[in-house]
Chain A
Amino acid sequence: MTPRKRYAAVFVLLSLILVMLVLINIMTGSVKLTPAQVTEVIFGGGSDAMNRNIVMEIRLPRVLSAVILGGALALSGYLLQTFFANPVVGPFVLGISSGAKLAVALCMIVLISSGHAATSLLMVGAAFLGALLAMGFVLLISLRVRSVGILVVCGIMIGYICSAVTDLIVTFADDSDIVNLHNWSMGSLSGMSWNEVRIMFFITLICFGWAVMISKPIGAYRLGEDYAKSLGVNIRTLRIMLILIASLLAASATAFAGPISFVGIAVPHLSKNVLKTTSPLVMIPACFLVGGGVTLFCDGIARTILAPAEVSISSVTAVLLAPVVIAIMIKRRLR
């Protein structure tokens, strides 16, 4: 089978799986729906007002945001792995998600206590600043030490510090705010509105397009910095773009759903192994599809396994994806 045919086959398969997952996720819940009912509501408007409400106002926005944010996290992880030329980094282990989380928590508390409503764009902005700040720390460390092990440990430390400060803030917040904040800081996709879906869609779309536009330098960068330079790649510009896109993607995911662990590390590997290539023009859309699917799958488990209670999505992704990360590290060590 030629690589091109393989890519086409895999992409068709991945899309089918994603559509299936979307359907299943919309069907399941405290009110069970049949596929016919779901398609009726989505395509035909539907006559049953309650079903329509459940699908259009609760489940569909949630499912879409799982796909968009999962894709965003996976793409962010892929770009970071490219940047550090290392497979065991991602927005969560580098502390970027936690930095974003801290900034959002601060922003929420300040706004709520002063009586303002926190808009989604403001949250994303705060998350982006927090992500860049955490990224800045990581970069400072990476300038001083070349060891990736130390880098990852430092990232986890930064993550812990940010989480600790976030917890502190949450503790001092008013009781009524805590419930909201606590849910969010554990990572949850519940209660997404169409407005939020729209915003995350546009941010992710811009980042996706931007990433595709720099796929040529990314492709050259796989063969090392000097080699990429010899092909006329401006390394400094490439690195800045990688950081900005990766941070923006991780920030928007964190702003809307709180920190979601390990999707960013594990998904690029899963995609790479399925497609047997590292070509960025293939990897960028593949990471997005696989990331969306994996996150949707995990969210499905998070909301059904202990229904009517919900598990935080980060717990599910950790249980399912951390072993993948361990497997990657073992495999690399053995090679």
Chain B
Amino acid sequence: MTKDFVLSTEDLTVGYDSPIIRELNLHIKPGERLTLIGPNGSGKTTLLKSLAALLKPMEGCVYLDGRSAGEMSGEEVARHLASVMTERVKPELMTNRQVVETGRYPYTGRLGILGEEDNRAVDEAMAMMDVGDIADRLFTRISDGQRQRVMLAAALCRDPGVLILDEPVSYLDIRYKLDIMKKVSDIAREKNTAVVMSLHDPDYAMRYSDTVAAVGYGGTFRIGSVKEIFTENFIRSLYGIEDVDEALFPTKPWF
């Protein structure tokens, strides 16, 4: 039954003009980390956008806590689900705290003025993401890694049941990659938030997921545990690198 799942889909078909992934049935439990892997252009972002209600499904339905997202208002969806996509903007003269505060908008009245509870949620989220000390600095003047933490705090402060992340660690250096992935796992564990994300690096996908979904060209979709998906042959065929003569997975972890 869809009620036990924070996020589920029923025969979901996604795409822009023509369908990219067809008739998908996903069921995600609270606190579960689902990672989408697959080559560029296979439709990971399209799927994430559809799950995050940023893109209207071509067919089928997305359910949040058992209720159809299509029948909820935009703000209601935003209270259940937060997303951090790859769109990179340079908002003028906004401090990090002001950026995080916008994350609370779905709970505020018409003018978007934060109340006491909202401010507390913002403080907590910023503390958890370790950005409390840069709260008053300008968002445009901090590093990419810090910016990603601020965006996570903005998503976190509205206490969503589902967090959707599109390539949260691309273009970050190794220190921030590990840092962000750890924080995402903390959110899933401590807040019991379901996380659906896409990752480029199979290594991170192996280490920081409970479930992995492989999205291939032509809309192929296979979902399973880390062990089920990460077999040498499957990963090779997924990315179309059957003829590359190098071991994909190190026999021992490198760290």
Question: Which A residues fall within an 8 A CB radius of B?
Answer: 87, 212-213, 215-216, 219-220, 222-227, 229-234, 272, 276-279, 281
Asked whether A223 lies within 8 Å of B108 as measured between CB atoms, the reply is no
Asked whether A232 lies within 8 Å of B74 as measured between CB atoms, the reply is yes
A-B contact pairs, 20 of them (CB 8 A): A215-B112, A216-B108, A216-B110, A216-B112, A219-B105, A219-B112, A222-B94, A223-B99, A225-B87, A227-B87, A230-B53, A231-B74, A231-B102, A232-B77, A234-B74, A272-B93, A276-B93, A277-B94, A278-B92, A281-B111
Asked whether B94 lies within 8 Å of A278 as measured between CB atoms, the reply is yes
B83 interfacial contact with A, CB 8 Å: yes
Asked whether B91 lies within 8 Å of A278 as measured between CB atoms, the reply is yes
Asked whether B75 lies within 8 Å of A232 as measured between CB atoms, the reply is yes
Asked whether B112 lies within 8 Å of A223 as measured between CB atoms, the reply is no
A101 to B52, CA, bound (A): 45
Instruction: List the A side residues contacting B98 at CB < 8 Å.
Output: 277, 279
Interface-centre pick from A212, A230, A278, A279 (highest chain B CB count, 10 A):
A230
A215-B112, A226-B87 given; A232·B93 CB < 8 A: no
Among B51-77, those with CB < 8 Å from A are: 52-54, 73-77
B89 interfacial contact with A, CB 8 Å: yes
A276 to B92, CA, bound (A): 9
Question: Nearest CB to that of A277 among chain B residues?
Answer: B93
Among B88-123, those with CB < 8 Å from A are: 89, 91-94, 98-99, 102-103, 105-106, 108, 110-113
A216-B108, A222-B94 given; A230·B73 CB < 8 A: no
Residue B111 contacts which of A87, A212, A225, A234 (CB distance < 8 angstroms)? Answer: A212
B199 interfacial contact with A, CB 8 Å: no
How far, in Å, is B64 (CB) from chain A's closest CB? 13
How far, in Å, is A121 (CB) from chain B's closest CB? 30
B131 interfacial contact with A, CB 8 Å: no
How far, in Å, is A172 (CB) from chain B's closest CB? 47
Question: Nearest CB to that of A212 among chain B residues?
Answer: B111
A223 to B101, CA, bound (A): 12
How far, in Å, is A147 (CB) from chain B's closest CB? 17
A234 to B72, CA, bound (A): 13
Asked whether B85 lies within 8 Å of A226 as measured between CB atoms, the reply is yes
B78 interfacial contact with A, CB 8 Å: yes
B82 interfacial contact with A, CB 8 Å: yes
Asked whether A231 lies within 8 Å of B78 as measured between CB atoms, the reply is yes
Asked whether B112 lies within 8 Å of A232 as measured between CB atoms, the reply is no
How far, in Å, is B104 (CB) from chain A's closest CB? 9
Instruction: List the B side residues contacting A230 at CB < 8 Å.
Output: 52-54, 78, 82-83, 85
Instruction: List the B side residues contacting A226 at CB < 8 Å.
Output: 54, 85, 87
A87 to B92, CA, bound (A): 10
A230-B82, A230-B83, A272-B93 given; A223·B102 CB < 8 A: yes
How far, in Å, is B91 (CB) from chain A's closest CB? 5
Residue B92 contacts which of A220, A224, A272, A281 (CB distance < 8 angstroms)? Answer: A272
A215-B111, A232-B76, A279-B98 given; A223·B91 CB < 8 A: yes
Q: Render B22-41 as a binary contact track against A, CB cut-off 8 A, 1 for contact.
A: 00000000000000000000
Instruction: List the B side residues contacting A220 at CB < 8 Å.
Output: 102, 105, 112
Interface-centre pick from A222, A225, A281 (highest chain B CB count, 10 A):
A222
Instruction: List the B side residues contacting A213 at CB < 8 Å.
Output: 110-111
A277 to B89, CA, bound (A): 16
A87 to B76, CA, bound (A): 32
- Beyond A229-B54, A232-B74, list 15 extra A-B contacts (CB 8 Å): A216-B105, A219-B102, A223-B91, A231-B75, A231-B102, A231-B103, A231-B106, A232-B76, A232-B77, A234-B74, A272-B93, A277-B94, A278-B93, A279-B98, A281-B112
A222 to B76, CA, bound (A): 21
A225 to B91, CA, bound (A): 12
Asked whether B91 lies within 8 Å of A222 as measured between CB atoms, the reply is yes
A277 to B102, CA, bound (A): 14
Instruction: List the A side residues contacting B112 at CB < 8 Å.
Output: 215-216, 219-220, 281
A277 to B75, CA, bound (A): 25
How far, in Å, is B102 (CB) from chain A's closest CB? 5
How far, in Å, is A329 (CB) from chain B's closest CB? 14
Instruction: List the B side residues contacting A279 at CB < 8 Å.
Output: 98
How far, in Å, is B197 (CB) from chain A's closest CB? 15
Instruction: List the A side residues contacting B76 at CB < 8 Å.
Output: 232
A87 to B94, CA, bound (A): 15
How far, in Å, is B95 (CB) from chain A's closest CB? 8
